[in-house]
Amino acid sequence: MDPKRLTSGSQQQAWLRKKRTRREWRPLEDRSCTDLPWFLLFAIFCVGMGAICSFTIVTGGAGRLVFGYDSYGNTCGRRNEQIEGFRLSGLDHTDRKFVFFLDPCNVDIVQRKIKSMALCVSLCPTEELQTYEDLKRFAMLNGSELCSYELAAHKYPSLPERFSKCPKLPVPPSKPLPVFNRCTPVDISCYGKFAEAVVTFVGDNSVLHRLIAGVAASKEIIIGLCVFALVLSMILMVIIRYISAVLVWILTSLVILGSLAGTSVLWWLYIDHRLYGNNTATSKVTKDMKEEVQVSRDSGQALLVYAVAATVFTIILLLLMLFMRKRVALTIALFHVAGKVFIHLPLLTLQPFVTFLALLLFWIYWILVLLFLGTTGNPVQNEETGLTEFRLTGPLQYLTWYHAVGLVWISEFVLACQQMTVAGAVVTYYFTRDKNRLPVTPILSSVLRLVRYHLGTVAKGSFIITLVKIPRLILMYIHNQLKGKENACARCLLKTCICCLWCLEKCLNYLNQNAYAATAINSTSFCTSARDAFVILVENALRVATINAVGDFVLFLGKILIMTTTAFAGVLLLNYQRDYAEWLLPLIIVCLFSFLVAHCFLSVFEIVVDVLFLCFAVDTKYNDGTPGKEFFMDKALMEFVESSRRLERVVERVVERGRGRVKDAVSEGAEMKPMAPGTSSA
């Protein structure tokens, strides 16, 4: 065989292999499913979550939670079967549909539950019952016996067991709780201790009542201010591109002026201390003043160290601002383009609503199943109270842990779906040259691509976050349980581990977000996309640092702006209330809600900026603006690239002139160099 032909054949195969593995970094029309095994694993896990719910319903846990059960293991409102070994179980409570607590104010603050004996009754007492005669009369007239089942109603006033098996007098009026059929006191003042334990800053019940009254009186204003914060957040997402430059340069000026002022103050304090110290040193110093003089010298040295450190920090900061001003300009350009994205893709503003609704529905389902698990299992007699409770025993105890893992994984999965949806829409916008030819609904197209091709990638990325978050939550729980019991070394070690896991989680979140954007572009698996995105980010490390530092602070200022504006509007609207103590809780609620809303909306804006930067980095890496390699970027980013190129050309010319001058100087020196002795011709 001809070796030349063999060589050319191997080169051709290598070229074909390279061409086949090379990705164009453009949204692909022909897509394929990514990370299918992880989608199957996630689907199996969700089936397990559903099986837990089915188990609680079949075993009666859901029924006991909804209909309630008494302290003997009987479910109210139905016929019960005898539980072996448990007294007064297996009763027919078809006509007794409500749960009545003998002492509803006996609240366990630690466990946050009522420790009182519970009975199934046919009617809740609507009026206050002050004596046992009233209990007897109520039972005889309404057929609702409020004492334990073995006590005869007509003997209530004379039975010795009435003090332990009848309700605590006086019995407050109550009404049934909707859906859950519990008799709850009309006056909730008996829960004051529980409220004080939950709301620790309230030390007086009167203060608590005034705060609650303030919320009740201002509920319309609170709702209006929450809607106002919502509208402000949506408006800010559109107009932030016009004010981003002002915010960035204000931030830069404040940082520079603050560092210069801090450094000047430290040097002034040091000089003033030095002059005062010299005056003290020249005067006569007694033995009693020697220690004071020594302390003064140590303070002077400390001030000198602080002043020098501040000076070094200020110089480094000024140099960073000088060399990174181009990257700050890139951040402003990205904010400008991100504002355009929201104009072309208005459905992006609805993304926080959809995500919040999905999370809310899942959390409600999760809490309900958790409550079902709390009333599921085998009947056990509480050794402390003697009441019957239902607990999971044996291997069934791990169902709660499985359910807890599901909370983290599925919540992260929903958030990852939002990131992938936004990334897909932004990628479509960026890589479409003619913006008038965008799809009718890029958001819906991105959702369909996600559901059809990339659910496995989202499941894998969210699982990685879950692997980091669960150990951190466990360590936080251990730290709270051991608070005040562990030594200083163990406390420091726990906090260090929690902090490291938190930092790792934030880094993985950022990498995952860029991996989803790479998947939206290339339709590659999670690991391949994460690797490609990581390479791009490392190549643009300084740009990434600038965008994250400056951009995050600008968005934080936006959140603070929305919160303070809403709070100011709240103060104006609440001004008619003369009792200023009633302002506190409504304003706190409004401020928290406004900051939460601003965070949700501006987090979507932050995702858009990060995806735009990845697309920009890919665009500048694989295209140079020449025919056949035209840029996809927006006009604002194109202007940034052109200005950067002009600056680079100026720098290159300056460097070339400098090199030319150095060469001329070297050549002139060589010509003027005298000949060495002994080398002259004869």
Residue with tokens 């007239």: 141
| DSSP symbols for 304-349 | HHHHHHHHHHHHHHHHHHHHTHHHHHHHHHHHHHHHHHHHH-GGGG
Tell me, letter by letter, the H, E, C secondary structure of 430-457.
Answer: HCCCCHHHCCCCHHHHHHHHHHHHHHHH
Spatial distance between the Cα atoms of 610 and 597, rounded to a whole number of angstroms: 20
Rounded Cα–Cα distance for residues 522 and 58 (Å): 46
99: amino acid identity, one letter: V
User: Quick one: tokens of 582?
Assistant: 């009633």
335, amino acid identity: F
Q: Which residues contact 571 (CB under 8 A, 6 or more apart)?
A: 583, 587
Q: What is the dihedral of CA 129, 131, 136, 141, to 10 degrees?
A: -30
Listed in order, strand segments (DSSP E) in 269-423 are: 378-381, 388-391
Whose CA is closest to 469, among 549, 519, 413?
Answer: 413
Instruction: List beta partners, residue 171.
Output: 129
The residues of the chain scoring below 50 in pLDDT are 1-7, 9-10, 13-22, 109-110, 112, 193-206, 281-285, 578, 580-581, 672-682
DSSP H or E segment with residue 658: helix 635-672
- Nearest CA among 461, 615, 355, 509 for reference residue 34: 461
Q: What SS3 string covers 49-78?
A: HHHHHHHHHHCCHHHHHHHCECCCCCECCC
pLDDT value for 411? 94
CA-angle at 332, arms to 328 and 333, nearest 5°: 115
Q: Is 178 helix (H, G, I), strand (E, B) or coil?
A: coil
How far apart are alpha carbons 252 and 7 in whole angstroms?
59
Closest CA to 330 of 39, 569, 578, 620: 620
CB 259 within 8 A of CB 313: yes
How far, CA to CA in Å, does 59 sit from each of 97, 266, 275, 392?
Answer: 20, 71, 84, 11
Q: Cis peptide leading into 170, omega within 30 of 0?
A: yes
Strand blocks (E) in 466-554: none
- How far is it, in rounded angstroms, from Cα 397 to Cα 401? 8
73 contacts 86 by C-beta, under 8 angstroms: yes
pTM to 2 decimal places: 0.76
Residue type, 261: A
Distance CA 107, CA 194 (A): 7
Helix (H) or strand (E) holding 119: strand 118-121
Q: Are the beta carbons of 561 and 236 closer than 8 angstroms?
A: yes
Question: What gap in Å lies between CA 48 and CA 50, rounded to an integer?
Answer: 5
Helix and strand numbers, DSSP H then E, in the chain = 20, 8
Residue 191 and residue 107 in contact, taking contact as beta carbons nearer than 8 Å? yes
What are the residues whose beta carbons fall under 8 Å from the beta carbon of 550, sequence distance 6 or more? 248, 251, 328, 331
Strand partners, 69: 75
pLDDT given for residue 383 in this prediction: 73
For residue 104, what is the DSSP state?
T
Nearest Cα residue to 149 out of 73, 60, 84, 85: 73
The b-or-e profile of 648-673 (16+ CB within 10 A means b, else e) is eeeeeeeeeeeeeeeeeeeeeeeeee
**DSSP result, 241-264:** HHHHHHHHHHHHHHHHHHHHHHHH
Instruction: Identify the helix (H) or strand (E) that includes residue 356.
Output: helix 351-374
Terminal CA-to-CA distance of the chain, rounded, Å?
A: 68
* Alpha-carbon distances, residue 368 vs 63, 108, 396 (angstroms): 12, 22, 18
Instruction: Compute the distance between CA of residue 107 and CA of residue 115 in angstroms, rounded to an integer.
Output: 6
Calpha distance 181→77 (Å, rounded): 10
Helix (H) or strand (E) holding 198: helix 192-198
* Spatial distance between the Cα atoms of 559 and 8, rounded to a whole number of angstroms: 62
